[in-house]
Amino acid sequence: MAEQRIAMQNTDIWLRPDEDMEFMPILPLHDNDGENADDISIPDELPLIPLRNTVLFPGVVIPITVGRDKSIKAVNEAYKTDKMVGVLAQKDSNTEDPQPEDLVRIGTAAKILKLIKMPDGGTTVIIQGKCRFQLDAVTSEDPYFRGKITTLVEEVVTDDNQFDATISSLRDLSAQIIQLSPNIPSEASIILKNIENASFLVHFISSNMNAELKEKQELLETNDLRTRSEKLMHLLQRELQFAELKNKVTTKTKTELDKQQREYFLQQQLKSIKEELGGDTNDREVMDMKQKAEAKKWPQAAKDMFKKEIEKLERMHPSTPDYSIVYNHADLLLDLPWDEITVDNYDLRRAKKVLDADHYGMNKIKERIIEYLAVLKLKGDMKSPILCFVGPPGIGKTSLGRSIANAIGRKYVRLSLGGLHDESEIRGHRKTYIGAMPGRIVQQIRKVKSSNPVMILDEVDKVGKDQRGDPSSALLEVLDPEQNHSFYDNYLEMEYDLSKVLFIATANDITSIQPALRDRMEIIDLNGYAVKEKLEIAKRHLIPKQKEAHGLKDIKFVIGDGVIENVIENYTRESGVRELDRQLASIMRAMAKDYAMNGKVKASLRKSDIEKILGKPRYSNEIYKAAPVPGIAVGLAWTYVGGDILFIESVLSEGKGDLKLTGNLGNVMKESASTALTYLQANARKLGIDPATFQKMNVHIHVPEGAVPKDGPSAGITMLSSLASAFTGRKVRPYLGMTGEITLRGLVLPVGGIKEKVLAAKRAGLKELILCWQNEKDVQDINSDFIKGLKFHYVKTAQQVLEIALS
């Protein structure tokens, strides 16, 4: 075992020998103690102790651990006699068994101050250097090294200002190094201030400074004290530069390190608290996720990705920013119902019964759903159709989707697309973004826990488009049966099968849907309700709902059919039933007030009661009874909220034959007016009109409700009738409405939206309608009970129109 210097930072050594206890200072009691060989008798021959990794200087006290047998014997022998030994450094500190040639030639004679036997068999010796010596020869190698020496006398320097300045600089440099080095105790500065002997100060600093063994040995071998002090100054300046650089780096990173250490200690404390409470929450969560994954049915690709995410979580500390990102992604993978589907109910009679119970009418859609279920029942599996319900507001498109889900036994989820303008809402965001989320499609699938729900894409015609992308283009993949089996969500970062989802889109205006998207969907038109349909809907659904909503469920009173029809005809003008629902709610509130105040209500409501509750009728059919002056005709229009009635007014005034159009008309409607006027000019004599009139009179055509934009070709025959009435002075037949496009040749062409227009005419109280003969098939699709009392005139030419309208 090699001798090793025990690193000591304190100025005291606490010793506990067997015989007594004593407190021994690290410094000699006097600075000059042992500095001069004349003060103590140094034998010419001394036991030698090789030191592996330190150099002993005169006057300095150090403890050493003696482990080699030779060194132990030498120490024991010297301790019994004069306690003097010679201490030499090894040339190579790695040599375990040094030979005489492995020792340096200049060493320090030392006195053994204390000898301590250690429990492990080793010996600790506290020695104090006395003077330097030169080894002349090794006289014995067994049982320990002995050598013949020559002591080297230190020169005493007096009255040398340069030397004094050097010593002062050594004090200052040492003090600066102590101040910059956090590992050196502040007591070291006090020691330096109390050392008055210049020679000992040099030796003390040399012994304690951070320098190589060879550099310290070189200082010891330097005979001249001035030269030795100058060499020491160079070494201290180098150490000071290193300490300053180290302190600069430490100061630069201290703030960050302190913050990291603080967070680390807080995390460790938090971890300990969590363990005391039953384990780390994050670890338990990861374990729970792994257990759930074992029982989950999912594709191999999803399973592999989840495994990778869990491995990342186990390697990451919960405080790292990426931990929550990886955790949320793994949680999404685990929550998605990859291969989890609900079993469809193939009972067609039950499905039809459910559909009929929830919605009155809508036979076309109900038949389509029953057909889908029939094929699914026979084949067992098929790609779900992409249906699109198009119709005016308030007719039950969205609620029909829920009814379909109930009929076939699937889960229902609704996705509102109105005002959506970011493509990422459909496809999801990249998970590396702050606040990233999966797209709404995947979110809804995750919510319902089923891979084959009925998903309503509500208001698909109102999807926006801006610089952030076009969501309707993103929907192309979702609503394409050939592609949606591999729908890619940016957040999920893998494909998901949407082919089992029954998508049902709803829209008010099919022309607002992107053509490519429209081509992928099966369009099913939903028309507005007739009065009789609204009556049945009110009796079956609206009135019971409002009675329950207003606390009148158990209170008996009757609202007769005539009263309900009165509300429909005089207080609403709509294709759907939302306004009717609001009017019925007003009636129920009035009934609830009466019952709360009087404790009873009328057994049945009359029209007079309705007028008291709702006020005077808002709409009247009297305006259609007769046209007060020539030039006024009634047209039928289609809007996205359903059918409507349109007045067209024509007035002649003296002028040069100019045509003026007002009423916020679109280009197509303006062209229809020009076409009608040109037709009249070309056929003036047949119609009994003086051709010169067209040159003398200005024509002004106006369509009331000028704030509402109007366009389309369907008002062609209405404008023709209005102009013909104005030029001939003959009034248009009362209670007559018309719709159709005209050509310059006088042909009448078919137009769209016939059912909405016919039902609007019926609601308005019209009795006769003029339509193109090709629209007769559209009228036949309407339930005959809904149009009872309407007379239809099917025409092919403009001449036939005028014959009917002006008769």
Q: How far apart are CA 393 and CA 737, in angstroms?
A: 24
Position 622 scores a pLDDT of 60
In sequence order, the β-bridge partners of residue 495 are 488
Query: Model confidence over 730-769: pLDDT tens digits?
Result: 889 888 999 999 999 999 999 988 888 888 888 788 899 9
Reported as half-sphere exposure (CB side, CA atoms, 13 A), residue 436 has a value of 22
- Out of 174, 206, 650, 714, the active site residue is 714
Measuring CA to CA, which residue among 650, 541, 649, 561 is closest to residue 606? Answer: 561
Of 660 and 189, the one with more pLDDT: 660
Query: Model confidence over 636-656: pLDDT tens digits?
Result: 988 766 678 888 999 999 988
- Out of 111, 500, 710, 757, the active site residue is 757
Q: Which residue has the tokens 């092919």?
A: 796
Query: Model confidence over 119-164: pLDDT tens digits?
Result: 877 788 999 999 999 999 999 888 889 999 999 888 777 778 888 8
Of 285-299, 375-389, 709-723, 772-786, minimum mean pLDDT range: 375-389
pLDDT at residue 272 tops 80: no
Query: Model confidence over 542-583: pLDDT tens digits?
Result: 999 999 999 888 888 888 888 898 898 888 878 788 899 999
* DSSP letter assigned to residue 773: G
Of 457-471, 587-601, 715-729, minimum mean pLDDT range: 457-471
Position 257 scores a pLDDT of 61
The separation between CA 240 and the C-alpha centre of its own chain, rounded to angstroms, equals: 53
Nearby residues of 633 by Cβ (< 8 Å), 6 or more positions away = 627, 647, 648, 718, 719, 721, 722, 725, 732, 736, 738, 805
Position 9 scores a pLDDT of 30
Position 738 scores a pLDDT of 94
| Percent of the chain predicted with pLDDT > 70 | 91
Strands across the sheet containing 454-458: 412-416, 454-458, 502-507, 387-390, 522-525
Q: How far apart are CA 109 and CA 150, in angstroms?
A: 10
Of 25-34, 209-218, 265-274, 501-510, minimum mean pLDDT range: 25-34
Nearby residues of 803 by Cβ (< 8 Å), 6 or more positions away = none
Helix (H) / strand (E) element for 742: namely strand 741-742
Contact 680, 744 (CB under 8 A): no
Q: How far apart are CA 530 and CA 762, in angstroms?
A: 8
**CA dist list (Å): 357 to 350, 502, 646:** 10, 21, 36
Of 278 and 222, the one with more pLDDT: 222
pTM: 0.58
Q: How far apart are CA 387 and CA 369, in angstroms?
A: 10
Q: How far apart are CA 751 and CA 713, in angstroms?
A: 8
Of 200 and 25, the one with more pLDDT: 200
Q: How far apart are CA 768 and CA 761, in angstroms?
A: 9
Q: Which of 34-38, 377-381, 457-461, 739-743 has the largest mean confidence?
A: 739-743
Mean pLDDT rounded to a whole number for the chain: 83
81 residue type, one letter: T
Position 6 scores a pLDDT of 35
Contact 392, 528 (CB under 8 A): yes
Of 569 and 8, the one with more pLDDT: 569
* 757 included as an active-site residue: yes
Measuring CA to CA, which residue among 635, 573, 638 is closest to residue 769? Answer: 635
Q: How far apart are CA 227 and CA 516, in angstroms?
A: 96
Residue by residue, DSSP assigns 150-213 as EEEPPPPP-S-HHHHHHHHHHHHHHHHHHHH-TTS-THHHHHHHH---HHHHHHHHHHHS---H
